[in-house]
């Protein structure tokens, strides 16, 4: 299928099933955090999956390639990103498997029925208020800072939309880990699995991957650390596996 790219857009290869994705580097491109989340998250055959704040649709597209989920939905508040996501879905011939919905995470429980998903993923904005330098370009700022939704919005809506026993997967920053675990427990998304991501073996972790189960019993497994780089510019073997190289 051929597709017309708009100004400043490009096509990137995803190394999975020949899939490609449309992105605009002037607005926002997916990062390693989204790819690692797609590798950390699991979906069984027949599962219905929701990705909240899907951006250009990277997580639903990668999870369609890696799992046997029956259907995947991407929820995105920014129309320009949602448009790129929809065109990427069509480009890859996935319109029967992936739906992109324009909408606000804060209103997700009004857009979708309660307890209607088996799996929910989210790569949310990490920064609170003035944490970090807020990007003057609005699409990037919305993706990185809690401008349109908070961590509590994400966790509370996921809890409403997951079926009992459903799984929630999120990537975030370790400096907010105490808040993440507290909120997940408060909304009955019991933290069950966690993995810290380190850029190099001798550096502090800069990402955390976490899984919760709606109504799960207290007991969390902390997986072995995930190290990204063996040396500058050289990934560890586990990272090549996630990327599909």
* Residues 76-107 pLDDT 10s: 999 999 999 999 999 999 999 999 999 999 99
* Residues 187-213 pLDDT 10s: 999 999 999 999 999 999 999 999 999
Rounded CA gap, 15 and 18, in Å?
Answer: 6
- In this predicted structure, what is the pLDDT of residue 118? 98
Rounded CA gap, 203 and 95, in Å?
Answer: 42
Helical (H) or strand (E) element with 10: strand 10-13
- In this predicted structure, what is the pLDDT of residue 145? 40
Over range 118-145, report the average pLDDT.
63
Q: Domain locations in the chain?
A: 10-243
- In this predicted structure, what is the pLDDT of residue 244? 78
- In this predicted structure, what is the pLDDT of residue 191? 98
Q: Which pTM does this prediction carry?
A: 0.91
Cβ neighbors of 199 (< 8 A, separation 6 or more) are 206, 228, 229
Angle at 190 between CA 189 and CA 193, to 5 degrees: 115
pLDDT band at 129 (very low <50, low <70, confident <90, very high): low
* Residues 143-157 pLDDT 10s: 444 456 899 999 999
Q: Reply yes or no on domain 10-243 having CATH 3.30.420.40.
A: no
Share of the chain above pLDDT 90, in %: 83
Is the per-residue pLDDT at 131 higher than 50? Answer: no
Over range 28-53, report the average pLDDT.
95
Cβ 219 vs Cβ 191: under 8 Å: no
Quick one: DSSP state of residue 30?
-
- In this predicted structure, what is the pLDDT of residue 209? 98
Is the per-residue pLDDT at 125 higher than 90? Answer: no
Cβ 12 vs Cβ 20: under 8 Å: yes
SS3 6: coil
């Amino acid at each position: 299928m051929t597709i017309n790219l708009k100004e400043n857009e490009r096509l990137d290869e995803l190394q999975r099933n020949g899939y490609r994705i449309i992105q605009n580097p002037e607005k926002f491109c997916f990062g390693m955090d989204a790819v690692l989340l797609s590798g950390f998250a699991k979906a069984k055959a027949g599962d219905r999956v929701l990705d909240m704040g899907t951006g250009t649709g990277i997580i639903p597209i990668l999870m369609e390639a890696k799992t046997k989920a029956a259907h995947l939905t991407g929820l995105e508040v920014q129309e320009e990103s949602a448009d790129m996501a929809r065109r990427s879905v069509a480009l890859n011939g996935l319109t029967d498997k992936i739906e992109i919905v324009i909408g606000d995470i804060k209103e997700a429980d009004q857009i979708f029925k309660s307890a209607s998903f088996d799996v929910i993923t989210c790569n949310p904005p990490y920064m609170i208020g003035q944490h970090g330098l807020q990007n003057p370009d609005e699409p990037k700022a919305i993706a990185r800072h809690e401008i349109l939704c908070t961590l509590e919005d994400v966790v509370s809506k996921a809890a409403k939309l997951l079926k009992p026993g459903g799984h929630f997967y999120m990537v975030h920053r370790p400096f907010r880990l105490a808040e993440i675990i507290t909120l997940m427990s408060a909304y009955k998304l019991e933290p069950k699995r966690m993995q810290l991501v380190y850029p190099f073996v001798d550096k502090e972790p800069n990402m955390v991957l976490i899984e919760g189960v709606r109504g799960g019993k207290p007991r969390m497994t902390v997986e072995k650390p995930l190290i990204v780089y063996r040396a500058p510019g050289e990934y560890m073997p586990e990272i090549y596996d996630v990327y599909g190289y």
